[in-house]
Amino acid sequence: MTEATGAIEAVWRIESARLIAGLARMVGDVGLAEDMAQDALVAAMEKWPETGVPDNPGAWLMATAKNRAIDRLRREKTYERKREEVAHDTGALFAMERSDFEAAADDQIGDDLLALIFTCCHPLLSREARVALTLRLLGGLTTPEIAGAFLVSESTVAQRLVRAKRTLRDAKVPFEVPRGAELDERLPSVLEVIYLVFNEGYAASAGEDWVRTELCEEALRLGRILAELAPREPEVHGLVALMEIQASRNAARRGPGGEPVLLLDQDRARWDPLLIVRGRRALERAESLAGPLGPYGLQAAIAACHARALRAEETDWVRIAALYDALAQIAPSPIVDLNRAVALGMAFGPQTGLDLLDQIKDDPSLSEYHLLPSVRGDLLEKQGRHEEAASEFKKAANLTSNARERELLLRRAEGDG
| Residue-wise pLDDT tens digits, 12-67 | 878 888 899 988 888 888 998 999 899 899 998 998 888 888 888 888 998 898 88
Tell me how far apart the alpha carbons of residues 97 and 23 are, in angstroms, rounded to a whole number. 15
Least confident of 71-75, 133-137, 361-365: 71-75
- Asked if 379 contacts 353 with a C-beta cutoff of 8 angstroms, the reply is yes
**Residue 143: which of 34, 226, 27 has the closest Cα?**
34
- Is the pLDDT confidence value at 93 over 50? no
Query: How would residue 81 be classed by pLDDT, with cut points 50, 70 and 90?
Result: low
Burial annotation 146-182 (CB, 10 A radius, 16+ → b, else e): bbbbbeeeeeebeebbeebbebbeeeebebebbeeee
* DSSP state for residue 208 in the 8-state scheme: S
Predicted pLDDT at 89: 46
pLDDT of 323-381, one tens digit each?
999 999 999 999 999 999 999 999 999 999 999 999 999 999 898 999 999 999 999 99
Bigger pLDDT: 379 vs 76:
379
Q: Average pLDDT of the chain?
A: 87
Query: How would residue 92 be classed by pLDDT, with cut points 50, 70 and 90?
Result: very low
- Is the pLDDT confidence value at 5 over 90? no
Tell me how far apart the alpha carbons of residues 201 and 223 are, in angstroms, rounded to a whole number. 14
Q: Highest-confidence range of 102-111, 151-160, 239-248, by mean pLDDT? A: 239-248
Integer Rg of the chain from CA: 24
Predicted pLDDT at 110: 59
The DSSP H or E segment spanning 19 is helix 3-27
Predicted pLDDT at 8: 82
Bigger pLDDT: 51 vs 101:
51
Query: What proportion of the chain, given as a percentage, has pLDDT over 90?
Result: 54
Query: How would residue 176 be classed by pLDDT, with cut points 50, 70 and 90?
Result: confident
The domain limits of the chain are 178-315, 368-417
Mean pLDDT (whole number) for 295-299: 97
Residue count (the chain):
417
- Is the pLDDT confidence value at 6 over 80? no
Predicted pLDDT at 78: 58
Bigger pLDDT: 108 vs 325:
325
| Sequence-ordered list of residues with C-beta below 8 angstroms from that of 322, at least 6 positions apart, any chain | none
Tell me how far apart the alpha carbons of residues 239 and 113 are, in angstroms, rounded to a whole number. 18
| Sequence-ordered list of residues with C-beta below 8 angstroms from that of 402, at least 6 positions apart, any chain | 203, 204, 205, 206, 207, 210
The stretches of 28-78 forming alpha helices (DSSP H) are 30-51, 57-75
Tell me how far apart the alpha carbons of residues 286 and 291 are, in angstroms, rounded to a whole number. 9
Predicted pLDDT at 209: 77
Tell me how far apart the alpha carbons of residues 135 and 193 are, in angstroms, rounded to a whole number. 10
Predicted pLDDT at 76: 64
| Sequence-ordered list of residues with C-beta below 8 angstroms from that of 121, at least 6 positions apart, any chain | 130, 134, 186, 189, 190, 192, 193
Query: What proportion of the chain, given as a percentage, has pLDDT over 70?
Result: 89
Provide the residue type at 83 as one letter. R
Predicted pLDDT at 165: 95
Query: How would residue 94 be classed by pLDDT, with cut points 50, 70 and 90?
Result: very low
- Is the pLDDT confidence value at 86 over 60? no
Paired residues of 401 in beta bridges? 206
Query: How would residue 9 be classed by pLDDT, with cut points 50, 70 and 90?
Result: confident
- Asked if 86 contacts 26 with a C-beta cutoff of 8 angstroms, the reply is yes
Mean pLDDT (whole number) for 204-221: 82
- Asked if 90 contacts 98 with a C-beta cutoff of 8 angstroms, the reply is no
